[in-house]
Each structure stands twice: as structure tokens, then as C-alpha cells.
Structure 1
């Protein structure tokens, strides 16, 4: 790929974000790609999604609607706070205080709470009266929290829950592995994290949870409950060269996946969503975030 081609990828994506992105993704792009001097604008955009109890809602995570905060939305907020340079006690502690109120006896948090039941939601987000804690949500949350250096009573119990959950992972699914990796990237016990990452990598390949050759999707089964064509590629597990999962893939496998990512940019400059489309509005709101993520991956591997 030539320098001109890579420049066009960024230019087309930027046009898409200014045309179709929410203020949140526009501000996030500015911060991540040097268009803004600091993260104050991004932090201000995120603040619009805050709830009175210190958590986040209002469609911050496009598939999770309504005014009631949810753990998966808290995970998204923490990642954005990290991009804004706001992983400090003033920003993180209110989120952890709220998480403490929805933590189960197991020490972790569910993906969504019963409060979501009163609002529109996709069919793959079932609402239980007494939901169990899940590594899917707890792992995503712990990643930025542990990197923040903030101390809080919620953290030790959540770390122990996530450790047990990762160690128990056998028959799993791609998003579960991704969430486990988010936790492992910042887990305090680094030797243990590397051991578990190595084990999950072998599990991933044994269970064929990664599309290694985009030219032959028929060789990889779609995970149960996922949308047709909802494959996960090497870059999904290893979004940067220093990711724990980078060792899972050969250079050829990684380069094929990155070529596929670059080629997947739509004519309008954005990237498509791969999961099921249950609402036109949520698809429109999700694509800018997917586009920013694609740009980050391509840049991390020197493709931009």
C-alpha cells in the first residue's frame, strides 16, 4: 500500500466522521489523531451521557438505549475517559462507586441490569431478573481501571472474579475472549496473565474462533448467536503489535487481516458494523465508533 493510499484512508474516514459522526466520535478523532490540543472537548462530550449517580447511559453504547446506566456502558465510558486523559480519581471513582451498587456476590458485574428491560434493546441482550456477573463486562471495565492507578474497594473483588472467570474459560466465544484480553493486558500478576493469554490463544485456534484467511470465510464457523458474517479476525484480538494476543498469529495471518481491514472501508469513508442490525439509528450511531477503532488499529501497525 502506497503512502498516498494510506493518506486517502485517513482523509476519507475524517470526511465520514465530520459528515456522519456523533460529536463524541468527532472529538475522539480529534484527540487521537492530533487535531485537538487536549482531551477537554472529548471529556465534555462524554459528560452529556452521565447519569445522576455517576454512571453513563443515553445510548453512549449505541445498542444499549434508555436513561438507566448499565455496566457495559460504564466500560465504554472508561475507555473514552482514557483517550481523553481523564483516568483520574475525580472521573473514575464515581463510576466505581456506582459499580459497587450493582456488583453481585461473585465480585463482578453483569453485562446489563434488569433496568434495561423497560427500554428498546437488541435481541442478543437478554434481561434477567437476577443477572449473573460476567467477565464480558467486568474484564472490559478492569482494563482501563487498573491502568488508571486509582484505588477503590471495588477493585480487589472484581480482579479476583475476573481471574476465576478467565481460568474457567473453556468453551467460550469471541467477545468473551476479547474481554478477557482487556483484563489480562493490565492484570497485576503479569506472569499469570501471560500464561492465561497463551492458553486462550490455543483455545481460540482449537475452537476456530478467528477468521485467519478472509478470502475463505467458509473455513471458519460463525459463533452461535452471532450474525451471519460476524467473524473476528486477528486484529480484533491483537489491536496493536504489543497486544498479548499478537503472538497468537503469524506475520502472514496478521498482515492478511490488516489488508482486509483496510479494504473494508466503505465508499463513504466509514467502516461497516459486523454484528446484527436491529435498528437503523443504532447502526448509524455505531459506525463512527467502528471507524475510529479501525483507524487506531491500522495506525498501530504502521498502515497510516
Structure 2
């Protein structure tokens, strides 16, 4: 591998992967232990899909702390993102659960064509303090853009995609403010997968600087920062085009260094109830390893 910025590229050694495996055995949720086995131990997809089923509700949505900071049983929009990601990584884009998620999203869509960030039912359940909503929430680009992008990625033709896609294009063309980090991530997910590639390219070109604005380029910045690898977890997609190769390489080196002594990766954001730290750390540890693998930073 080339040392693109004057240093020797770091790779995570096999012992680092072993330490991560032990961390997950001690601390991770069952679904994340199975995800680790799928990606890094040649494990089958079946156990991952079976574990995901425990989070599904009869309405086709997901709850039960699949999103660790939403502890309630009922369905919410953002956990559907987690479910679509799990189905995709299992090679199960044709699973009937994908269409059921579309049905659920159609049932909660606001009149403007988007789904809200969070539904008012969150107030009746334990949740992190930032999950707030008015009584009649409008659609929001986060998570509508991500959900639409993920359904397009899955090859879905669900009717919900029509109004949701119109909502996203209106948001991109009408807004004159810089998106926050989560809105930017949702916009990138939409642009990566929406079928109108010429329109997506034009939107990315117009919004490129605004999409990169929330990102902290210092690989050693402390606190709850949004870093290039959050926007470019793989070498593909529009997120990667926001950053130079040197910036990505520096952050990959820092990511390897950030593996904790216990084998996992930590999270920089607020832990508001004790269980969420090990749950988030297990999820994030699998994601950090997937990022390193995608960028060829795991020792063969």
C-alpha cells in the first residue's frame, strides 16, 4: 500500500481483530456479535437476520432499542435505517421485510411527503434527551433522505419512494442554509442511490462545500465531532469525494490508534443511561472494522 502522505500506512493486525472479537463477546448485543461473525469470521447471514426479527413490530417498523438511544418498544423512523442496513449487509435486499418497511414509512409520512425525525410517541418511552418533536411533526430530510436512499439501494419500487423522492428534491433545491451533520449524511445517502444520476451529480456539485462544512478535519479532535470517515466509510459514494486522499489516510491511521485496550472502539457522545455505552460500542466497533476493511486497512 502506498504511503500517500509521507508516512507508513498503518493496518490493524490480526491481533486487533481478535481483541475486537473478544470485546464483542463480553459486551456486544447478539445482533452485533452475529454481524461481526458474518463480516470477519465467514459466518452465515441467517443468525443476523434472525436476531433482527426480534426488533421488528407488526406494523413493519422497528423499535425495542435497535437504535440504542430509543428504548421504547414502538416503531420509529430511524430504527428502520438500521434494519435496512442490516438486511443489505446480509445480502437480503429482496427480503419481504424491505417492503414492510416501505409500508410502515407510508403509514407515518407527513403531508409534505417526508417522514418525521421522530414521532410524538417517543415521549411515552425512555429516550435520549435530543429526541424531541412537536405534536404534529413535519417531514425531515433526516431521516427521509437516508431511508429513500437505502430503499433505492435495495432495488425497491415501493410507492412510498415517489412522494419521498419529491420531498428530498424540494428540500435540496429550496434550502438556502447549510445542513447540519446528520442532514448532510442523509442528503449524501439519497444522492448516492437516487436513480436520476444527472440530477444527483448536479445537486452534489452545487452543495459540495455545504455538505463538507460540518466535518472536523483534525483526526485527533476531542469530543462529539463528525469526521471524514463518518461521511466516507467506504471509498465509494459522494462522501468520499468531499475529502483528499491524505485526509482519509490520516483518519484511517487515527482510527486504528483509537482501538481501546479492551478491543472495542468508544463513542464520544453523551451516555444518558448506562446500557447504551456497551450497546453503542458494540455497534460502532463492527462499523469501524467494516470501514477499515473497505479501505484495505485490515491485515490479510
CA distance in 1, matches of 2:27, 2:93: 28
User: 2:56 aligns to what?
Assistant: 50
Q: Which of these residues, 206, 210, 216, is aligned with residue 211 of structure 1?
A: 216
Paired residues of 1:210 and 1:233 also in contact (CA < 8 A)? yes
CA distance in 1, matches of 2:34, 2:241: 33
User: 1:164 aligns to what?
Assistant: 170
Q: Which of these residues, 74, 77, 84, is aligned with residue 78 of structure 1?
A: 84
Aligned CA distance change for structure 1 residues 2 and 261 (closer, same or farther; 3 Å): closer
CA distance in 1, matches of 2:109, 2:32: 30
User: 1:14 aligns to what?
Assistant: 21
Q: Which runs of 4+ in 1 moved over 6 A?
A: 1-4
Paired residues of 1:237 and 1:245 also in contact (CA < 8 A)? yes
Paired residues of 2:12 and 2:297 also in contact (CA < 8 A)? no
Residue segments in structure 2 that go unaligned for 5+ positions in a row: 1-7
- 1:39 is the counterpart of 2:45: yes
How far the C-alpha of 1:63 sits from its partner, in A, is 0.5
Aligned CA distance change for structure 1 residues 190 and 271 (closer, same or farther; 3 Å): same
Deviations 1:154-203, CA, capped at 9 Å, x for gaps: 11111111122233262221111111111111011112212222333312
- 1:263 is the counterpart of 2:257: yes
User: 1:117 aligns to what?
Assistant: 123
Paired residues of 1:89 and 1:150 also in contact (CA < 8 A)? no
Aligned pairs for 1:262-281 within 5 A: 262-281=256-275
Paired residues of 1:214 and 1:260 also in contact (CA < 8 A)? yes
Aligned pairs for 1:1-304 within 5 A: 5-36=12-43, 38-88=44-94, 90-167=96-173, 168=175, 170-205=177-212, 207=213, 209-215=214-220, 217=221, 229-304=223-298
Deviations 1:25-44, CA, capped at 9 Å, x for gaps: 011112222421x3111110
Paired residues of 1:177 and 1:200 also in contact (CA < 8 A)? no
CA distance in 1, matches of 2:9, 2:142: 38
Higher relative contact order, chain-length normalized (CA < 8 Å, sep 6+): 2
CA distance in 2, matches of 1:29, 1:169: 41
CA distance in 2, matches of 1:270, 1:262: 11
Residue segments in structure 1 that go unaligned for 5+ positions in a row: 218-227
Deviations 1:215-253, CA, capped at 9 Å, x for gaps: 4x4xxxxxxxxxx71111111111111121222211111
Return the TM-score normalized by structure 2.
Answer: 0.91
Return the TM-score normalized by structure 1.
Answer: 0.90
Secondary structure of the corresponding residue to residue 160 of structure 1: helix
Aligned CA distance change for structure 1 residues 154 and 260 (closer, same or farther; 3 Å): same
Paired residues of 1:24 and 1:45 also in contact (CA < 8 A)? yes
- Of 170-179 and 104-113, more deviation after overlay is shown by 170-179
- Across the two proteins, how many residue pairs are aligned to each other? 290
Root mean square deviation, CA, Å: 1.8
Paired residues of 1:16 and 1:269 also in contact (CA < 8 A)? yes
Secondary structure of the corresponding residue to residue 80 of structure 1: helix
